[in-house]
Amino acid sequence: MYDASRIVETTGESQVYSNIAYTGEITGVNLICRYVDDQPLRAELEVDFAFGKGPQATSNSHQYRYWVAVTRRSAKVLAKQYFTVDANFSGGPLDGRQEVIQDIIVPRADDTISGSNFEIVVGFDLTDEQLAFNREGRRYRLDAGS
């Protein structure tokens, strides 16, 4: 989900570069699924993250909350689970992580239901303001010009 693939946390009243505390971006997702006969689908998900520490950051570590949802192709959410990933900025203002989530279960009624009827989507847990920021196409990249 593009709208939830980025997070910009700011301080102060305006969303300007000098007010950035932390940023995050989902830079890659890899999904491995398997199913046999009428058994539930079992999936393993690898999520790559890039993080940034801005001028208003107060710590060299930061937790980011994200979610993984199992949906039908119709976008109906069947299950949603929340996770956190830790960034460590002790080596500088940028960090990256890969999280692996194993054994995501997607129930199927029977063996006539194909895995192509389902999607697994990932996104940051955003406030309404952060979501609007992303939908407006706005962004700040702390590594711009590097």
Residue 142 has pLDDT above 60, yes or no: no
**Per-residue pLDDT tens digits for 116-127:** 888 899 999 999
- Tell me what the pLDDT averaged over the chain comes to: 88
What CATH number has the domain spanning 2-135?
2.60.40
Q: What are phi and psi of 116, to 5 degrees?
A: -70, -5
Given a contact cutoff of 8 angstroms between Cβ atoms, the answer to whether 124 and 84 are in contact is no
**pLDDT given at position 140:** 62
Q: What per-residue confidence (pLDDT) applies to 143?
A: 54
What is the rounded average pLDDT of the residues 87-93? 96
The pLDDT value recorded for residue 141 is 56
- Kindly report the three-state secondary structure assignment for every residue of the chain: CHHHCEEEEECCCCCCHHHEEEEEEEEEEEEEEECCCCCCEEEEEEEEEEEEECCCCCCCEEEEEEEEEEEECCCCEEEEEEEEEEEECCCCCEEEEEEEEEEEEECCCCCCCCHHHEEEEEEECCCHHHHHHHHCCCCCCCCCCC
* Structural domain boundaries in the chain: 2-135
pLDDT by residue (tens digit) across 36-84?
777 788 899 999 999 999 999 999 999 999 999 998 887 789 889 999 9
* pLDDT number for residue 25: 95
Q: Which residues pair with 62 in a beta bridge?
A: 87
Confidence of residue 145 (pLDDT cuts 50, 70, 90): very low
How many angstroms separate the CA atoms of 60 and 90, rounded? 5
Structure tokens at 142: 């702390």
pTM of the prediction?
0.86
- What local confidence, expressed as pLDDT, does residue 139 receive? 65
So what's the pLDDT on residue 136?
83
